[in-house]
Amino acid sequence: MTKFANILETVGNTPVVKIGKLAPPNVNLYVKIEAFNPLGSVKDRLALGIIEDAERRGALKPGQTVVEATSGNTGIGLAMVCAQRGYPLVVTMAESFSIERRKLMRFLGAKVVLTPAAEGATGMVRKTIALAKKNGWFYTRQFENEANAEYHSRTTAREIIADFAGERLDYWVTGFGTGGTLKGVGRVLAKERPEVKVVVSEPADAPMLTSATPQERESDGSPKSRHPAWKPHPIQGWSPDFIAKLTGDAVDMGIVDQVITIPGPVAMQWSRQLAMNEGIFVGTSSGATFAAALEVCKGAPKGTTILCMLPDTGERYLSTPLFGDILAEMNADELAISSMA
């Protein structure tokens, strides 16, 4: 289908691509490239799923303001959905996240309220809850809203099941932010393809799942404080400073078979390698997930098939350390080439 009634109909049905140069020769390594969503990330899915669910239930009224706490990609997806549906959008975002995200959301018509970097994700969540209560705005609750996981069960999971129908699939590798992808896809695989092992990657600087330390919460479900195992890390969009309810649900359901920690520099290395060797342009969290998939490849039997999620595009990271050594001016090699003419 190439003709659509509106932009929201283009969400999902992202491609699965086989890795050639970077994969071990005895393993079939595939990636699902979520940058093919219209606003460039997997979070377009949850944005559409949550808004559609709220409309069906009557929880979101025509013209009502939508509010959410976001590191960026969810806010960008919500800005797209709200622009098309006609809802004002306010997002709260810690000032430590990339400038590109702020500009994209504002370009799409959203209002971006920055919160102190020192307060992290818990600070922006508290701000969102306060704004929603005071103003009667609709809080999308991406970190705990079952509509998030449900949309992944209905779309992402179904796409994976269809793409590997009648074929071997041994591992599915993902990171986590809200936990919607993990829970939504993981439970479908557990039911319909129970032989598939679910591998979760998390930042080495914030090994919250690995530590297995409980997360303290307020009566409204929001985190009381930063998780004790969390430290600042460069993998934006992954692992806020608390374990989201949806992530906790996935762990409690027993669908996670393995957790692999990835250092930030390694994540950035593999983002760069995907671009330079495979022509796949993705962000830091994608590099981290891919690094985890390569860890799974080590020692995997011949013929093993692995599918790795790549959450977003590299264009979200131009102002971050991922592009720290990419110059706007000509480098020495380019100057030498220029002098040849």
Say which range, 68-77, 222-231, 248-257, 308-317, has the weakest mean pLDDT.
222-231
62 falls within a domain: yes
Structural domains of the chain, count: 2
Domain identity same for 49 and 30: no
151 falls within a domain: no
Q: Rounded to a whole number, what is the largest CA-CA distance in the chain?
A: 70
Average the pLDDT over 135-155 and give the result: 96
C-alpha closest to that of 187 among 214, 148, 215: 148
Strand arrangement of the beta sheet that strand 66-69 belongs to: 111-115, 89-94, 66-69, 138-139
Say which range, 81-85, 124-128, 131-135, 210-214, has the weakest mean pLDDT.
210-214
144 falls within a domain: no
Domain endpoint, select from 139, 174, 205: 139
Cα distance between residue 326 and residue 318, in whole Å: 9
79 Cβ partners below 8 Å, 6+ apart? Answer: 39, 89, 91, 104, 105, 108, 109, 110
Cβ neighbours of 333 (radius 10 Å): 8
Domain identity same for 172 and 52: no
Between these two residues, 38 and 227, which has the higher pLDDT value?
Answer: 38
Cα distance between residue 224 and residue 212, in whole Å: 17
Cα distance between residue 48 and residue 328, in whole Å: 36
pLDDT bucket at 228, cuts 50 / 70 / 90:
confident
Domain identity same for 71 and 21: no
311 falls within a domain: yes
Cα distance between residue 333 and residue 241, in whole Å: 42
Helical pair 180-192 and 245-252, crossing angle rounded to 10 deg:
20
| Strand duo 28-33 + 16-18: pairing | antiparallel
pLDDT at 219: 67
224 Cβ partners below 8 Å, 6+ apart? Answer: 216, 217, 218
pLDDT tens, 281-337? 999 999 999 999 999 999 899 999 999 999 999 998 998 899 999 999 999 999 999
331 falls within a domain: no
Contact of 196 with 173, CB cutoff 8 Å: no
Domain identity same for 74 and 193: no
Q: Percent of the chain at pLDDT above 90?
A: 77
Between these two residues, 324 and 38, which has the higher pLDDT value?
Answer: 38
Domain identity same for 167 and 115: no
Domain identity same for 271 and 241: yes
Domain identity same for 13 and 52: no
E-assigned strand segments in 204-249: none
Say which range, 87-91, 137-141, 223-227, 290-294, has the weakest mean pLDDT.
223-227
Q: Residue 221: what residue type? A: G
C-alpha closest to that of 48 among 137, 139, 147, 129: 147
Domain identity same for 268 and 133: no
pLDDT at 28: 98
Domain identity same for 192 and 298: yes
Cα distance between residue 282 and residue 11, in whole Å: 18
Residue 317, SS3? helix
Which amino acids are annotated catalytic?
A: 43, 285
Average the pLDDT over 161-180 and give the result: 96
pLDDT at 5: 96
341 falls within a domain: no
195 falls within a domain: yes
Cα distance between residue 196 and residue 189, in whole Å: 7
CA pseudo-torsion sign 20, 22, 23, 24 = positive
Domain endpoint, select from 104, 139, 174: 139
> Domain of 81?
43-139
Domain identity same for 79 and 131: yes
2 falls within a domain: no
pLDDT at 221: 67
* CA quadruple 191, 194, 197, 198: dihedral, nearest 10: 0
At residue 240, does pLDDT exceed 90? no
Contact of 175 with 201, CB cutoff 8 Å: yes
CATH of the domain at 228: 3.40.50.1100
Domain endpoint, select from 85, 108, 139: 139
Domain identity same for 104 and 215: no
pLDDT bucket at 1, cuts 50 / 70 / 90:
low
pLDDT at 97: 81
Domain identity same for 193 and 291: yes
E-assigned strand segments in the chain: 16-18, 28-33, 66-69, 89-94, 111-115, 138-139, 171-174, 197-203, 258-262, 305-310
Distances (CA, A) of 341 to 199, 336, 337: 52, 10, 8
